Amino acid sequence: MSVNLTQKERALLEDQRQHEQLCIQKYTNYANQTQDEELRQLLNTYAAQEREHLNTINQILNGQVPNVSQQGHQGQQGQQMLQNNQMQSQSSQGRTMSNQGDATICKDLLMTEKYVSSTYDTAIFECRDSNIRQVLNHIQKEEQQHGEGIFNYMQSKGMYNPQ
């Protein structure tokens, strides 16, 4: 299926492309800096999903509407990682994290995911094509899952107490 984008749609998608590129860079760089292997695995999984998001945005900018059902593999991997982190979080409540570098990394990534998710919200509302809105909504949901995974990791390590 081919799509013709308005100038505004194209501008918003170009912004999303830049956001995805930055997310890939952050997750990749931070995965190499972190001290905790569990966090490293989580960040590498999210970097792979961000690459998938970037490919999807590039397809849309090239006039193609990707099929959301074909994008499930990395998303399922990330969801499994998220569920594993939630179980670990519940079993290790109260444990503290002594590595402040990892805490700073997580705070930056959580803030990034909050921002990126909100920019997808704007892009979704500005798209005329319902298929593109559906694809962007799928990406936004995965961005929210990344934020949830980071939040749960931080909470399990005593880095974040939302009370």
- Say how many C-beta atoms besides its own lie within 10 A of residue 92's C-beta: 12
Whole-angstrom distance, CA of residue 2 vs CA of residue 143? 26
81 pLDDT higher than 80: no
Domain ranges, residue 121? 7-156
Residue 162 lies in a domain: no
Nearest to 127 by CA among 1, 20, 12: 12
* Identity of the residue numbered 128: R
For the segment 78-94, the average pLDDT, to the nearest whole number, is 50
In a domain, 84, yes or no: yes
- List, for residues 27-62, the tens digit of each pLDDT value: 999 999 999 999 999 999 999 999 999 999 999 999
* pLDDT mean over 1-22: 95
Backbone angles phi, psi at 118, to 5 degrees: -70, -35
Q: How far apart are CA 59 and CA 20, in angstroms?
A: 14
**149 pLDDT more than 80:** yes
| The predicted structure's pLDDT at residue 69 | 65
Q: Work out the average pLDDT over 154-161.
A: 91
Domain CATH code at residue 94: 1.20.1260
Q: How far is CA 140 from CA 20, 37, 71, 114, 117, in A?
A: 11, 26, 13, 10, 5
Domain assignment present for 43: yes
Whether residue 2 is contained in a domain is answered as no
163 within domain boundaries? no
Give the mean pLDDT of the chain: 87
* Domain count along the chain: 1
pLDDT at position 26 = 98
Residue 56 falls inside a structural domain = yes
Chain segment 97-137, per-residue pLDDT in tens? 458 899 999 999 999 999 999 999 999 999 999 999 999 99
Distance CA 8, CA 14 (A): 10
- Distance between CA atoms of residues 127 and 24, nearest Å: 24
User: Residue 88 above 70 pLDDT?
Assistant: no
| Res. 1: pLDDT tops 90 | no
